[in-house]
């Protein structure tokens, strides 16, 4: 396992050496066996605010299992099985957070999910504990083809890691910064230290800023213009914060109209971050640190990089060769030579060590500042409302429809059918299921199933439907007479009532409700069908019955679709272009209503 870990480090060094991590680098260590967990290679990475670091690790883990077929890997974070969260819309019904432990693995470059055992599946025991690591590895090694995750699940996960390794360069942002020469020299040796400096400035407190009054390590003298490589997350954190330096620090800014104002401001903020890091260092002497770049492990690592063509044919001693060598040294010190028991060396200690061991050539820096490459455009920081809508639609795997398709999307019939499909879906305490399309299903009513459900819930005796009994139940009056009630109830359980009798009892309640509502104005709030019109989708109300007398007028059937659409449009208009229940439900089913251009509420007559 230790040799395998070293081989992984060498294999992926070209990718990892140039990567800038937000908080901690990706590290793999040998872990001895403990309990039911066998010996393995593992690690933990704090990725901070940059979630792309997490998905880059997912890509690395997948590629490691592809390059080393004898390895199976699992990965989780503080949310648990976040790969399953990403593919939540496509998971099988049996898979839930309670039984997902040790079921999700990368093996031979593919995502696998170990199902429930046949015993638990037959017993419908969805809370069964997951297999142990040893059991899961045995299953994967014997019949991994059977456990390959379904295509939609794999597609959802692989979409998040698509684009790597090319995506690494796209995540960088290069900007001009006006920095002290000492910081420029440090970043030449360890470009990854920019992350720690940005985090120190971003998370500063009043105590940290005390060290920035005098700037003993990086005074504002001898500043030069240079190019600094950030990740987009780090650059956004640095540029978006408003900060005014202390007058005693010596860092002054030109007027905002100055063409290089942004470079001065970025350099000032970054210098504060480096000064804060150095003020927190443990003051360890560089002589007390082990020179890890002169041992046999480093020599083996360096020869392996040369065999893998890491230096891309660059002449030894050239500027490009030295740049790649510094990145390899940084990666080696961060990811290879730190055993689990070693004391973590803080970034401030590393910065001070580099200042003592690095020659600062101010004239060379000034010559390079005269011909700097252009900085990257940062217009990606600004997102328009249209861009946000496009991103949300892409997140739902939906493309923007054309004008004809869009017109068809918000047809009134589509609105009504989509809502019916939504209502017909299963709803539990865990939430409601969204239909993928409005044509997937329609509202149906099975009389027999409805009768059986009522029979199970309310009991077989229709007398239990009496409203007086319901009122008594709501009072929660538990007395000594409960035992007698239970005996009477047990005697009534032997009596059987036919479904027709139960339906007849329900109809009598409906008729009674109709008679009461006939004397109110509730019916006037609904749109009714026109005389002589017939509609398949309309629901008619029951007349009062032959014994209702002359006081009951004939009730006109309600136009269900018209009322549904009218109320939805009124609700959508009341949202005033903001997010709301109507747009959220309809958009989740692929129905997009147009904006209400005239800003007038929908009235039923106009809609009709």
What DSSP line would sit under 229-272, residue for residue? EEEHHHHHHHHSS-----GGG------TTSTTHHHHHHHHHHHH
Rounded-to-integer distance, Cα 240 and Cα 385, Å: 19
The counts of H helices and E strands in the chain are: 27, 9
Considering the domain architecture, whether residues 152 and 182 belong to the same structural domain is answered as no
Whether pLDDT at 113 is above 90 = yes
Considering the domain architecture, whether residues 188 and 143 belong to the same structural domain is answered as no
Q: Report if residue 259 sits inside a domain.
A: yes
Q: Report if residue 38 sits inside a domain.
A: yes
Rounded-to-integer distance, Cα 382 and Cα 379, Å: 6
**Top-confidence residue, 50 or 413:** 50
Among the residue ranges 84-88, 92-96, 254-258, 397-401, the one predicted with the least confidence is 397-401
Burial status of residue 319 (CB atoms within 10 A of its CB: 0-12, 13-18, 19 or more): exposed
Among the residue ranges 226-235, 256-265, 284-293, the one predicted with the least confidence is 284-293
Whether pLDDT at 465 is above 80 = no
User: How would residue 531 be classed by pLDDT, with cut points 50, 70 and 90?
Assistant: low
Q: What is the β-pairing status of strands 40-42 and 427-428?
A: unpaired
Q: Report if residue 33 sits inside a domain.
A: yes
Considering the domain architecture, whether residues 194 and 151 belong to the same structural domain is answered as no
Degrees to nearest 5, angle at CA 307 with 303 and 312:
110
Q: Report if residue 506 sits inside a domain.
A: no
Q: Report if residue 509 sits inside a domain.
A: no
Considering the domain architecture, whether residues 83 and 155 belong to the same structural domain is answered as yes
Rounded-to-integer distance, Cα 273 and Cα 202, Å: 8
Considering the domain architecture, whether residues 203 and 160 belong to the same structural domain is answered as no
Beta strands in 288-404 (DSSP E): none
Considering the domain architecture, whether residues 74 and 192 belong to the same structural domain is answered as no
Whether pLDDT at 495 is above 60 = no
Mean pLDDT for the chain overall: 78
Rounded-to-integer distance, Cα 19 and Cα 26, Å: 10
Tokens representing residue 53 in the block: 């670091």
Tracing tokens 């680098």 back to the chain, one arrives at 25
| pLDDT given at position 322 | 83
Boundary (domain end) residue, out of 352, 374, 394? 394
Considering the domain architecture, whether residues 91 and 232 belong to the same structural domain is answered as no
Whether pLDDT at 463 is above 60 = no
| pLDDT given at position 337 | 57
Rounded-to-integer distance, Cα 220 and Cα 214, Å: 10
| pLDDT given at position 127 | 60
Share of the chain above pLDDT 90, in %: 33
Please report, for residues 50, 181, 262, the alpha-carbon distance to residue 240 in angstroms, rounded to integers and kept in the order given.
Answer: 16, 25, 11
Q: Report if residue 206 sits inside a domain.
A: yes
Whether pLDDT at 186 is above 50 = yes
Q: What is the 3-state secondary structure (H, E, C) of 2-47?
A: HHHHHHHHHHCHHHHCCCCCCCCCCCCEEECCECCECCEEECCCCC
| pLDDT given at position 483 | 52
Whether pLDDT at 274 is above 80 = yes
Give the best-scoring range by mean pLDDT among 186-190, 446-450, 597-601: 186-190
Boundary (domain end) residue, out of 354, 369, 394? 394
CA–centroid distance for 265 within its chain:
33
Phi, psi of 27 (to 5 degrees): -130, 140
Considering the domain architecture, whether residues 160 and 193 belong to the same structural domain is answered as no
The whole-model pTM stands at 0.68
User: Quick one: DSSP state of residue 438?
Assistant: T
Whether pLDDT at 371 is above 70 = yes
Rounded-to-integer distance, Cα 105 and Cα 76, Å: 10
Q: Report if residue 381 sits inside a domain.
A: yes
Q: For residue 20, give its domain range.
A: 1-116+130-164
Considering the domain architecture, whether residues 140 and 243 belong to the same structural domain is answered as no
Considering the domain architecture, whether residues 182 and 270 belong to the same structural domain is answered as yes
| pLDDT given at position 522 | 75
Greatest C-alpha distance within the chain: 107
Tokens representing residue 459 in the block: 């009991």
Please report, for residues 13, 159, 180, 211, 278, the alpha-carbon distance to residue 251 in angstroms, rounded to integers and kept in the order given.
Answer: 39, 45, 11, 13, 18
First vs last C-alpha separation in the chain: 73
Considering the domain architecture, whether residues 25 and 109 belong to the same structural domain is answered as yes
Boundary (domain end) residue, out of 360, 394, 428? 394
Number of domains observed in the structure of the chain = 3
Among the residue ranges 135-139, 407-411, 527-531, the one predicted with the least confidence is 407-411
Q: Report if residue 296 sits inside a domain.
A: no
Cβ atoms within 10 Å of 444's Cβ, excluding its own: 8
Cβ atoms within 10 Å of 461's Cβ, excluding its own: 17
| pLDDT given at position 180 | 94
**Top-confidence residue, 507 or 592:** 507
CB 277 within 8 A of CB 218: no
Considering the domain architecture, whether residues 201 and 223 belong to the same structural domain is answered as yes
Phi, psi of 560 (to 5 degrees): -65, -45
| pLDDT given at position 563 | 80
**Top-confidence residue, 23 or 346:** 23
| pLDDT given at position 119 | 54
């Amino acid at each position: 396992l230790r040799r395998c870990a070293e081989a992984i480090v060498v294999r992926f060094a070209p990718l990892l050496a140039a990567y800038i991590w937000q908080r901690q680098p990706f590290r793999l260590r040998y872990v001895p066996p403990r309990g039911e967990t066998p010996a393995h290679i593992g690690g933990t990475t704090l990725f901070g605010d940059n979630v792309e670091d997490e998905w880059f690790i997912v890509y690395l883990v997948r590629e490691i299992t592809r390059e080393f077929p004898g390895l199976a890997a699992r990965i989780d974070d503080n949310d648990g099985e976040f790969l399953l969260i990403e593919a939540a819309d496509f998971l099988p019904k049996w898979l839930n957070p309670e039984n997902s432990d040790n079921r999700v693995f990368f093996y031979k470059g593919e995502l696998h999910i170990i199902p429930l055992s046949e015993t638990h599946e037959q017993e419908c025991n969805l809370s069964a504990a997951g297999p142990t690591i040893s059991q899961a590895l045995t299953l994967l090694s014997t019949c991994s083809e059977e456990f390959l995750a379904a295509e939609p699940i794999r597609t959802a996960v692989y979409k998040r890691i698509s684009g790597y390794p090319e995506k690494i360069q796209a995540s960088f942002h290069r900007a001009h910064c006006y920095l002290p020469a000492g910081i420029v020299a440090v970043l030449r040796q360890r470009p990854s230290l920019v992350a720690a400096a940005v985090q120190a400035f971003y998370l500063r407190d009043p105590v940290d800023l005390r060290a920035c009054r005098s700037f003993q390590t990086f005074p504002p003298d001898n500043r030069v213009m240079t190019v600094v490589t950030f990740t987009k997350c780090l650059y956004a954190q640095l540029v978006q914060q408003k900060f005014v330096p202390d007058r005693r620090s010596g860092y002054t800014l030109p007027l905002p109209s100055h063409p290089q104002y942004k470079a001065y401001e970025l350099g000032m903020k970054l210098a504060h971050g480096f000064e804060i890091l150095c003020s927190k260092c443990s003051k360890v002497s560089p002589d007390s640190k082990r020179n890890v770049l002169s041992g046999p492990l480093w020599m083996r690592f360096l020869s392996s990089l040369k065999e893998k063509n890491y230096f891309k044919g660059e002449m030894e001693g050239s500027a490009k060769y030295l740049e790649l060598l510094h990145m390899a040294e940084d990666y080696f010190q961060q990811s290879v030579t730190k055993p689990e028991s070693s004391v973590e060396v803080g970034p401030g200690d590393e910065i001070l060590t580099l200042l003592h061991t690095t020659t600062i050539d101010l004239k060379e820096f000034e010559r390079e500042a005269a011909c700097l490459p252009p900085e990257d455009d940062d217009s990606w920081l600004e997102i328009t409302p249209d861009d946000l809508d496009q991103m949300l639609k892409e997140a739902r795997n939906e493309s923007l429809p054309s004008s004809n398709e869009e017109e068809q999307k918000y047809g009134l019939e589509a609105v009504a059918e989509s809502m019916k499909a939504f209502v017909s879906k299963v709803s539990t305490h865990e939430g409601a299921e969204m239909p993928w399309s409005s044509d997937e299903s329609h509202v149906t009513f099975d009389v027999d199933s409805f009768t059986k459900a009522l029979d199970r819930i309310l009991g077989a005796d229709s007398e239990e439907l009496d409203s007086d009994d319901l009122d008594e139940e709501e009072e929660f009056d538990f007395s000594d007479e409960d035992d007698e009630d239970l005996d009477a109830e047990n005697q009534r359980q032997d009596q059987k009532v036919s479904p027709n009798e139960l339906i007849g009892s329900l109809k009598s309640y409906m008729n009674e409700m109709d008679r009461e509502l006939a004397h109110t104005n509730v019916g006037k709030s609904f749109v009714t069908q026109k005389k002589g019109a017939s509609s398949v989708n309309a629901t008619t109300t029951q007349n009062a019955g032959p014994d209702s007398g002359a006081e009951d007028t004939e009730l006109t059937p309600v136009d269900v679709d018209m009322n549904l659409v009218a109320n939805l449009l009124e609700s959508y208009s009341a949202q005033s272009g903001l997010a709301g229940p109507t747009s959220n439900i309809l958009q989740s089913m692929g129905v997009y209503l147009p904006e209400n251009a005239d800003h007038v509420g929908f009235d039923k007559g106009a809609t009709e």
